[in-house]
Structure 1
Amino acid sequence: MSSKQFEDGITAGRLDAAALDANFSDLHPAYDPHEALVAADRCYFCHDAPCQVACPTSIDIPLFIRQIATGTPEAAARTILEENILGGMCARVCPTETLCEEVCVRETAEGKPVEIGRLQRFATDTVMATGTHPFTRAAETGKKVAIVGAGPAGLACAHRLAMNGHNAVIFEARQKGGGLNEFGIAAYKSTNDFAQSEVDWLLQIGGIEIRYDAGLGDTLTLESLQADFDAVFLGMGLGGVNALRLEGEDKAGVQPATEFIEELRQASDLSGMKIGRRVVVIGGGMTAIDAGAQARLLGAQDVTIVYRRGQDAMAASEFEQDLAAQKGVRIIHNAAPIGVEGNGSLTGVRFAYTETQNGKLVTLDDGFTLPADQLFTAIGQSLSGAPDALTLEGGKIKVDGLGRSSVSGVWAGGDCASGGDDLTVTAVAEGRDAAMDIHATLVGEA
């Protein structure tokens, strides 16, 4: 163990390269062919499968598992990808423990579900390893659709439009595509630069162009896109970060958890990642869990996640909470931040205990202070830069069930749009479904 692990302050190199490689290895290693056959054999192939109902993209799960069981993983991959073109990433990051696997008949009967996520990964990895794309484009329609954001919703929308013969141009504010999959997922959930490999593979269908360093702003406006394209889809995610609104949150050592996760995901050498010895994370969702777990894996000695409500109210699944605990992260419930201590640099965070009274969260008079040299805030994100012409609902772009916004010819989906969960798989479903409505509109079948 590196002596740096016990140093105060924020520093790099708390662990050696071997320890970092082990800590950030694949969370769920891929099945080999024999393991996949054994896992597939556990499926009952239910006719009215609850797992398929629970899947936001409605993948025919019994069918693809049967295809694996009969030795045709490429066919299984097509079954998956017809509904979810980002099935490879979703197999890695989707909370299957609260979706398809939670309702698996094996889970109900035995407490051990069929490992649907790992089987999905086996199938999609198999077809991607061939280097070929399983879909071809329909005849060119001559229609052009502008898509804002190269995240899961935008990519899924573009691919489905391309399949139907339309041309899609994606405008992405960053220098890389992938969105949340590339910048917001814990590094041990998506290893070996898989997010970019999946983007490159998706683009093989043709008819999709990505223009980087091109987000909505002064030069690229909704009005200009409407003038130049036949339809517009907005899938830019949530760019804003909610503030603590506490005095002292601007001290050195305080940082949004999303920035930390992005920095880690883009690091070519994890030994250069700086981390504190005592780390505090505020929040109760997946971002908080990912930040806390990865802080420990980088060598932080003491990591504490603090959430203002009880455990049952945490947005992060029980599986993810347990995963963080297994990595040495402590989770404190029913405590809210009330102050940030330090003279220039962070030294501690003050909290007050909370409880729910008559349905309202109440801050109590007593509390505690956690020593800290690094604080990550994960208390939600907000939509930024939404065009004024659009109607918002709950701080997001208001859309109907087809993804149509309040402006004619403009659709939206993913985290920036109202409705649905903030999950990769949900964003894919919304992008795909909006693309089908855009297609129907462009060819006069809506």
Structure 2
Amino acid sequence: MRFKETGDIAAGRLSAEQLANQFADVAPPLSRDEALVAANRCYFCYDAPCINACPTGIDIPSFIRKIQTENLKGAATTILAANPLGGMCARVCPTEILCEGACVRNTQESQPVQIGALQRHATDWVYEQNVALFRRAPDTGRHIAVVGAGPAGLACAHKLALDGHRVTIYDARGKGGGLNEYGIAAYKTVNEFAQREIDWLLSVGGIDLKCGIALGKDVSLDQLRGDYDAVFLAIGLAGVNALGIEGDALAGVSSAVDFIETLRQTRDLASLPVGRRVVVIGGGNTAVDAAVQSRKLGAQSVAMVYRRGVESMSATWAEREFAQKNGVTIIEHARPVRVLATDGVVTGVLFEQTVIDEGRLKGTGDTFTVPADTVFKAIGQTLVSFGEGFELLATVGGKIEVDTHCATSLPGVWAGGDCAQTGMDLTVQAVEDGKCAAAAIDRALAESMPRAA
């Protein structure tokens, strides 16, 4: 982050013991007995709406039935065959609007089956025991480049490897994982889980992960197209939207994405500076994660401010409720006008009250100030160019344009995850994009030439 320690921005506000408690696993795993009780609540619906609500199409009743009979290997196989990052998705998926939101138990008791917790119960067993569930097909002699080791890239690589192709994953950062490693609140994924999941995923063989190699700097898209049989782009959205107001460049103003990444990679949380009064501008999951973690680091007051009403926030009702329970104040219908400062030190943010008039957001002219020494921007991310050849890709809505099979406008190039116009910006959707692209790549290669004997 760009700001430095001052009287109001300081490290060590809480003791190591307090921080350990604050950043402990927010949803501890179910015990054996708890899992059996939870599994016994499933109706095992014939036309299970929970399956349709899952972007990766996991057969949820099937894996829960296997947990019920204590067949964890079978349950995990069902999950991970449909979603190779099922462990992380069990931790971070907004199940309240997906599988659990569709659970028929909601109409009976207003309490769905704990699908996410049960999914974690089954998959954690796999990583803890290092169980190999899948075997690669014979080598096809094809070699595919995947750019980006986040959820979409990893899912694509895993499926391609199972089909017998060789895959090289390039990632600009020092570790794989993408959003799972760098962009999710620390209390959601503890004990280096993202790396343990990657280790299991790569153990299938045929996948070479090369970190520290950036597209557009160390390798070009044109080069990859020439050297490989196909290319899958899972590059995310590297740009951060600016506030576009006076004071945006002050030292106390920073990206929420950068803050979350810094926190996730900091071993000693007591060494991480945090302000006394924090304002987070935005209404998505990134804003929630930045706001809650600021509170957990010891900030005295944290406000999350959004220009529209809560009904328009991309953060789910469960995320908003969690933020409020952790002491975050949510302010609706307010847009930033100016970051206030004295002698270059942030003192607050001036906001204008807004209204929705005939579907359009309008300012009322009524302003108010929220005191702050730290401001985090969480108003969305943007696609950036990655050098030679990249400019030839067609884009739509600020993302790479793809068809229903994740194919781009460039022959031999597919794309998925947050960088592509495919649907929800969720980890589970990125996994589905990777699977979809892998299946399309496999078909395209099979049509172009016979498989190796």
TM-score w.r.t. structure 1 length? Answer: 0.97
Q: Is the 8 A contact 1:413 1:434 kept in 2?
A: yes
Q: Is the 8 A contact 2:231 2:412 kept in 1?
A: yes
Q: Does 2:359 correspond to 1:356?
A: no
Q: Is the 8 A contact 1:350 1:369 kept in 2?
A: yes
Aligned residue for 1:379? Answer: 379
Give the whole-Å Cα distance in 2 for the aligned partners of 1:391 and 1:14.
48
Amino acid at match of 2:426: L
Give the whole-Å Cα distance in 2 for the aligned partners of 1:218 and 1:367.
45
Q: Secondary structure at the match of 2:158?
A: helix
C-alpha displacement at 1:273, in angstroms?
Answer: 1.0
Q: Deviations over 1:283-334 (max 9, x none)?
A: 0000000000010000000000000001100100000000000000000000
Aligned residue for 1:345? Answer: 345
Aligned residue for 1:3? Answer: none
Q: Note the 1:13-412 alignment, pairs <5 A.
A: 13-342=12-341, 343-386=343-386, 387-412=390-415
Q: Is the 8 A contact 2:90 2:119 kept in 1?
A: yes
Q: Secondary structure at the match of 1:351?
A: strand
Q: Deviations over 1:60-103 (max 9, x none)?
A: 00000000001101100000000100000000000001100011
Amino acid at match of 1:441: A
Q: Is the 8 A contact 1:216 1:385 kept in 2?
A: no
C-alpha displacement at 1:367, in angstroms?
Answer: 1.3
Give the whole-Å Cα distance in 1 for the aligned partners of 2:420 and 2:430.
9
Give the whole-Å Cα distance in 2 for the aligned partners of 1:419 and 1:217.
23
- How many percent of aligned residue pairs carry the same amino acid? 55
Give the whole-Å Cα distance in 1 for the aligned partners of 2:20 and 2:426.
27
Q: Deviations over 1:264-295 (max 9, x none)?
A: 00110111111000000000000000000010
Between 37-46 and 339-348, the greater mean CA deviation after superposition: 339-348
C-alpha displacement at 1:8, in angstroms?
Answer: 4.8
Q: Is the 8 A contact 1:275 1:298 kept in 2?
A: yes
Q: Deviations over 1:45-72 (max 9, x none)?
A: 0010000000000000000000000110
Give the whole-Å Cα distance in 2 for the aligned partners of 1:311 and 1:223.
44
Give the whole-Å Cα distance in 1 for the aligned partners of 2:197 and 2:422.
26
Q: Is the 8 A contact 1:279 1:304 kept in 2?
A: yes
Give the whole-Å Cα distance in 2 for the aligned partners of 1:72 and 1:231.
38
Give the whole-Å Cα distance in 1 for the aligned partners of 2:345 and 2:204.
51
Q: Is the 8 A contact 2:144 2:167 kept in 1?
A: yes
TM-score w.r.t. structure 2 length? Answer: 0.96
Give the whole-Å Cα distance in 1 for the aligned partners of 2:80 and 2:26.
23
Give the whole-Å Cα distance in 1 for the aligned partners of 2:322 and 2:78.
31
Between 338-347 and 327-336, the greater mean CA deviation after superposition: 338-347
Give the whole-Å Cα distance in 1 for the aligned partners of 2:228 and 2:314.
38
Q: Secondary structure at the match of 1:15?
A: coil
Amino acid at match of 2:444: T
Give the whole-Å Cα distance in 2 for the aligned partners of 1:215 and 1:83.
30
Amino acid at match of 1:299: G
Q: Deviations over 1:355-408 (max 9, x none)?
A: 001111001111101111100000000011241110001111000000000011
Amino acid at match of 2:42: C
Aligned residue for 2:417? Answer: 414
Amino acid at match of 1:371: P
Q: Secondary structure at the match of 1:65?
A: helix
Give the whole-Å Cα distance in 2 for the aligned partners of 1:134 and 1:11.
47
Aligned residue for 2:427? Answer: 424
Give the whole-Å Cα distance in 2 for the aligned partners of 1:367 and 1:390.
43
Between 130-139 and 427-436, the greater mean CA deviation after superposition: 130-139
Amino acid at match of 1:101: E
Give the whole-Å Cα distance in 2 for the aligned partners of 1:270 and 1:131.
30
Q: What is the root-mean-square deviation of aligned Cα atoms in Å?
A: 1.1
* 5+ long unaligned stretches in structure 1: 1-6
* 5+ long unaligned stretches in structure 2: 1-5
**Cα pair distance change 1:445/1:113, threshold 3 Å:** farther
Amino acid at match of 2:47: D
Q: Is the 8 A contact 1:8 1:277 kept in 2?
A: no
Q: Is the 8 A contact 1:89 1:195 kept in 2?
A: yes
Give the whole-Å Cα distance in 2 for the aligned partners of 1:8 and 1:226.
52
Give the whole-Å Cα distance in 1 for the aligned partners of 2:448 and 2:437.
14
Give the whole-Å Cα distance in 1 for the aligned partners of 2:200 and 2:86.
12
Amino acid at match of 1:421: M
Amino acid at match of 1:262: E
Q: Is the 8 A contact 1:133 1:202 kept in 2?
A: no
C-alpha displacement at 1:337, in angstroms?
Answer: 0.1
Q: Is the 8 A contact 1:174 1:213 kept in 2?
A: yes
Give the whole-Å Cα distance in 2 for the aligned partners of 1:415 and 1:445.
29
Q: Is the 8 A contact 1:20 1:298 kept in 2?
A: yes
Q: Is the 8 A contact 1:148 1:172 kept in 2?
A: yes
C-alpha displacement at 1:445, in angstroms?
Answer: 8.2
C-alpha displacement at 1:219, in angstroms?
Answer: 3.9
Q: Deviations over 1:17-66 (max 9, x none)?
A: 11111111111100111111110000000010000000000000000000
C-alpha displacement at 1:253, in angstroms?
Answer: 1.2
Q: Secondary structure at the match of 1:260?
A: helix
Amino acid at match of 1:144: H
Give the whole-Å Cα distance in 2 for the aligned partners of 1:164 and 1:108.
42
Give the whole-Å Cα distance in 2 for the aligned partners of 1:445 and 1:434.
16
Aligned residue for 2:3? Answer: none
Q: Is the 8 A contact 1:281 1:306 kept in 2?
A: yes
Q: Secondary structure at the match of 2:29?
A: coil
C-alpha displacement at 1:187, in angstroms?
Answer: 0.5
Amino acid at match of 2:63: F
Q: Number of aligned residue pairs: give it.
A: 440
